[in-house]
């Protein structure tokens, strides 16, 4: 069985990715801040694949020490990593010019630094095996300014730069790097919004997309992909 590591996996897109890969017979190590949600996902994963190895560690991925502790936990259980999904993220709405104190810092720490430090800690395993695929969960906000998403947009643009630099650094080592840029997905982030479900993408479609990209031959990499609701952005 192959091995997947995913951050921020207890709900929404992260959960959908974990379930998709469990259904494809992957062992999975994941993290989240919410222990109760982690336990619930653990039960679902085991139901999908009774023979799989599924482990989690609670971690706040905005805190460097907890990011590194999660990476150490991964290395204590996996000797190889086939897929790493840097999915941990936070959206704190607001404008650049009048954002509340520390909003930018919190957003950057979660959306960018968590991916940076997780990758730095785990990529040596991929380099040793001369294979692997890293997915960075960005957003359409990483490609164009997003209304009322000042700090979020800044963080996702930075994440796109991280993705592109990593892709260039690792291509000769046979490690693929992909930026995933979805528009509105029906998750808890949109709770309470008075819009029909058909205006949103299904989180399961993001999980399927990532798996399909992973399944391409070693000669091909999707460097960046954009997914939007059929009826356009919200």
Burial label, 198 (beta-carbon count in 10 A; 0-12, 13-18, 19+): exposed
Task: Give the chain's domain count.
Answer: 1
Q: What is the pTM of this model?
A: 0.95
Does some domain include residue 12? yes
Q: Which two tokens stand for residue 48?
A: 């999908």
Does some domain include residue 120? yes
Q: Residues with Cβ < 8 Å from 50, sequence gap 6 or more?
A: none
Give the CATH number, domain containing residue 179. Answer: 3.40.50.720
Q: How many residues does the chain have?
A: 234
Q: How large is the average pLDDT for residues 116-123?
A: 98
CB atoms within 10 A of CB 44: 13
> Rounded CA gap, 145 and 5, in Å?
30
Does some domain include residue 232? no
Choose among 9, 11, 107: nearest CA to 62: 107
Q: Which two tokens stand for residue 76?
A: 């204590």
User: What is the span of the domain harbouring residue 64?
Assistant: 2-227
> Rounded CA gap, 86 and 152, in Å?
16
- Nearest-Å Rg of the Cα atoms of the chain is 17
Q: Residues with Cβ < 8 Å from 214, sequence gap 6 or more?
A: 83, 133, 135
Does some domain include residue 142? yes
Q: Residues with Cβ < 8 Å from 106, sequence gap 6 or more?
A: 62, 90, 92
Q: How large is the average pLDDT for residues 46-65?
A: 95
Does some domain include residue 233? no
Does some domain include residue 234? no
Residue with token string 């560690």: 57
- What pLDDT score was predicted for residue 147? 81
> Rounded CA gap, 9 and 31, in Å?
6
Q: pLDDT tens, 132-172?
A: 999 999 999 889 888 877 889 999 999 999 999 999 999 99
Mean pLDDT of the chain: 93
Query: Given pLDDT bands bounded at 50, 70 and 90, which one contains residue 83?
Result: very high
Q: pLDDT tens, 186-227?
A: 777 666 677 888 889 999 999 999 999 999 999 999 999 999
């Amino acid at each position: 069985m192959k091995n997947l590591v995913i951050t921020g996996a207890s709900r929404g897109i992260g959960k959908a990715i974990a379930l998709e890969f469990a259904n494809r017979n992957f062992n999975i190590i994941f993290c989240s801040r919410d222990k109760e949600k982690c336990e619930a996902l653990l039960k679902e994963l085991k139901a999908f694949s009774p023979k799989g190895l599924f482990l989690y560690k609670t971690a706040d991925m905005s805190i460097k020490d907890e990011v590194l502790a999660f990476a150490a936990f991964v290395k204590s259980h996996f000797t190889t990593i086939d897929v790493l999904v840097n999915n941990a993220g936070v959206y704190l709405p607001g404008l650049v010019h009048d954002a509340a104190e520390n909003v930018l810092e919190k957003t950057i720490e979660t959306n960018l630094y968590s991916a940076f430090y997780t990758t730095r800690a785990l990529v040596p395993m991929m380099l040793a095996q001369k294979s692997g695929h890293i997915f960075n969960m960005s957003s359409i906000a990483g490609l164009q300014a997003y209304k009322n998403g000042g700090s979020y947009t800044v963080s996702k643009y930075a994440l796109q730069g991280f993705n592109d630099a990593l892709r260039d650094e690792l291509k000769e080592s046979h490690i693929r790097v992909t930026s995933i840029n979805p528009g509105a997905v029906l998750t808890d982030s949109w709770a309470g919004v008075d819009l029909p479900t058909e205006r949103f993408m299904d989180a399961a479609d993001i999980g399927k997309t990532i798996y399909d990209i992973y399944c391409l031959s070693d000669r091909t990499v999707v460097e960046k992909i954009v997914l939007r609701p059929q009826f356009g952005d919200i």
